[in-house]
């Protein structure tokens, strides 16, 4: 599997990704190449046009993409197709699965995931976007932020409040999940100028009177938070795999450069001060990969994997970050030049550190759920 994905990625060289990072164009050719070879439906059941494989396989695929040098520009272009529609797979009706899954598996439709809000941040349950039921439709009003691929998406998976927070027992109740058309007559999408991954847009999204048919609600009214929670662990696993791949790409470049670059009459890689950080990066990436595969294995066996998935995402993002930063430092001044690619990796690796959940919140989760310490927030 890894070999097959690598073969496709090899058609998109470093210059291709450098150019996308510069012009900000969506990597459509790359997206198409993976779609045409059938990779986008890797986690979608075979009866709906996919391959029906697990998160373990998807993790290998995503790692191969970032490791090829495509980085997060490549991975984020397809990320939503890979696991984003899991709530539909698990909680959708037969009609919804037939309608929603095949176009995503075939790459005919792009989707975005609209959860984060400006006034809620990591406190998802406090989101303010409202979906009011009026007969056969819900009317949605609100604002989202950081929504990736909303410039190119045809559909969005959106979480909105259908019952006021004052009328529910817990803030996590009363939220509903919809997978619906991103109708630009009622949805304004404003791109956020950002530090890296220019080719895959992230946006402010303003929703004003969007009518969503009841048939586009996934699962029961009011249980949307529960449904997206189910998808959080596999998403953390995929993000971990993406971070490891990018860390490996950086390490490869740094090691090659350390062998070639001669200063003081010898390759810089002959100095322990250059070697040791690279050796540490290798070990930390290997360890993070084991944790990621453990989490994927647990998930695919249907076993609880929250601590492993969170730990994997934390360890992989930190190890990937260290590898990208070390790669820039190993290159000295050249590390700062775009043509050596590692500065792009460093800008991109910050994304898996921050999203979909920050390292601080993962530490809070482990402290509370694994170590039994009092909830701190
Ligand atoms: C490039 C990019 C793409 C993204 N794509 C998407 C997308 O497609 N869809 C989507 O829905 N979202 C997306 N996001 C949003 C992302 O998931 C959020 O940015 C992330 O969850 C953090 O939320 P926030 O930015 O609101 O941080 P905040 O909640 O404002 O937190 C700010 C800081 O405070 C810390 N903090 C907050 N509370 C505590 C506490 N109790 N203890 C310790 N520290 C705390 C946080 O860890 C963080 O460091 C994306 C973000 C980025 C940067």
pLDDT tens, the chain, 377 aa long: 999 999 999 999 999 999 999 999 999 999 999 999 999 999 999 999 999 999 999 999 999 999 999 999 999 999 999 999 999 999 999 999 999 999 999 999 999 999 999 999 999 999 999 999 999 999 999 999 999 999 999 999 999 999 999 999 999 999 999 999 999 999 999 999 999 999 999 999 999 999 999 999 999 999 999 999 889 999 999 999 999 999 999 999 999 999 999 999 999 999 999 999 999 999 999 999 999 999 999 999 999 999 999 999 999 999 999 999 999 999 999 999 999 999 999 999 999 999 999 999 999 999 999 999 999 99
d(CA 210, CA 161): 14
Give the containing element (helix H, strand E) for 110: none
**Residues in a beta bridge with 137:** 134, 213
Across the strands, what pairs with 131?
Answer: 140
CA of 118 to the centre of ligand 1 (A): 10
Residue (of 149, 23, 7, 1) closest to 68 by Cα position: 7
The number of the ligand 1 atom at minimal distance from the alpha carbon of 197 is 1
Which residue carries 């991109």 as its tokens? 348
| Mutation pick for ligand 1 pocket among 71, 82, 122, 374 (CB with most ligand atoms within 8 Å) | 122
**Residue 350 CA to ligand 1 centre (angstroms):** 12
> 285 — phi, psi (to 5°)?
-70, -40
**Ramachandran angles phi, psi of 25, nearest 5°:** -75, 140
Q: State residue 230's pLDDT score.
A: 86
**Cβ distance 258 to 333 under 8 Å?**
no
Q: What is the distance in A from the centroid of ligand 1 to the CA of 337?
A: 29
Ligand 1: lining residues by beta carbon, under 6 Å: 112-116, 121-122, 146-148, 202, 351, 354-358, 360-361, 364, 377
Closest CA to 291 of 276, 310, 265, 318: 310
Residue 21 has a pLDDT of: 98
- How remote is the CA of residue 185 from the centroid of ligand 1, in Å? 28
- The SS3 call for residue 311 is helix
3-class SS of residue 210 = strand
Could you tell me if 142 and 154 are in contact, meaning their C-beta atoms sit under 8 angstroms apart?
no
Residue bearing the CA closest to ligand 1, atom 44: 360
Closest residue to atom 37 of ligand 1, CA basis: 122
The span from the CA of 371 to the CA of 307, in Å, is 10
Helix%, strand%, coil% for the chain, nearest 5: 55, 15, 30
Tokens matching residue 172: 């996590």
Measured distance CA(243)–CA(316) in Å, rounded: 6
- The residues pairing with 139 across neighbouring beta strands, listed in sequence order, are 132, 211
Q: Best of 121, 191, 196, 365 to mutate for ligand 1, by most ligand atoms within 8 A of CB?
A: 121
Residue nearest to atom 27 of ligand 1 (CA): 121
- Ligand 1 atom 48, closest CA: 358
| Residue 64 to residue 108: CA distance in whole angstroms | 23
Does the pTM exceed 0.75?
A: yes
Residue with tokens 């609600």: 217
Of the chain, the end-to-end C-alpha distance in Å amounts to 42
């Amino acid at each position: 599997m890894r070999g097959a994905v690598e073969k496709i990625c090899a058609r998109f060289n470093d210059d291709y990704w450098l150019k996308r990072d510069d012009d900000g164009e969506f990597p459509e050719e790359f997206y198409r190449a993976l779609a045409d070879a059938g990779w986008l439906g890797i986690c979608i059941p075979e009866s709906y046009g996919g391959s029906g494989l697990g998160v373990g396989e998807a993790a290998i695929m995503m790692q191969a993409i970032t490791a090829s040098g495509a980085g997060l520009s490549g991975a984020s272009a397809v990320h939503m197709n890979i696991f984003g529609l899991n709530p539909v797979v698990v909680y959708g009706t037969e009609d919804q699965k037939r309608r929603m899954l095949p176009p995503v598996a075939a790459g005919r439709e792009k989707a975005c995931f609209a959860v984060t809000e400006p006034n809620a941040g990591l406190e998802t349950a406090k989101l303010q976007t409202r979906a009011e039921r009026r007969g056969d439709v819900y009317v949605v009003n609100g604002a989202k932020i950081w929504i990736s691929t909303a410039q190119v998406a045809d559909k969005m998976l959106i979480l909105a409040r259908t019952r006021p927070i004052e009328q529910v027992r817990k803030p996590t109740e009363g939220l509903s999940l919809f997978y619906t058309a991103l109708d630009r007559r009622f949805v304004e999408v404003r791109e956020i100028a950002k530090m890296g991954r220019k080719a895959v847009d992230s946006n402010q999204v303003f929703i004003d009177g969007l009518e969503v048919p009841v048939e586009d609600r996934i699962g029961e009214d009011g249980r949307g938070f529960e449904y997206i929670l189910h998808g959080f662990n596999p998403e953390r696993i995929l993000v971990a795999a993406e971070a490891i791949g990018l860390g490996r790409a950086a390490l490869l470049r740094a090691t090659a450069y350390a062998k070639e670059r001669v200063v003081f009459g010898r390759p810089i890689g002959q100095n322990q001060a250059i070697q040791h950080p690279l050796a540490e990066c290798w070990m930390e990436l290997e360890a993070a990969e084991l944790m990621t595969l453990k989490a994927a294995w647990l998930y695919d066996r249907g076993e609880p994997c929250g601590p492993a998935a969170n730990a994997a995402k934390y360890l992989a993002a930190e190890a990937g970050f260290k590898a990208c930063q070390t790669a820039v430092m190993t290159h000295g001044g050249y590390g700062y030049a775009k043509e050596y690619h590692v500065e792009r990796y460093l800008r991109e690796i910050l994304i898996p550190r921050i999203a979909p959940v920050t390292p601080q919140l993962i530490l809070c989760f482990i402290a509370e759920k694994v170590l039994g310490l009092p909830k701190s927030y």
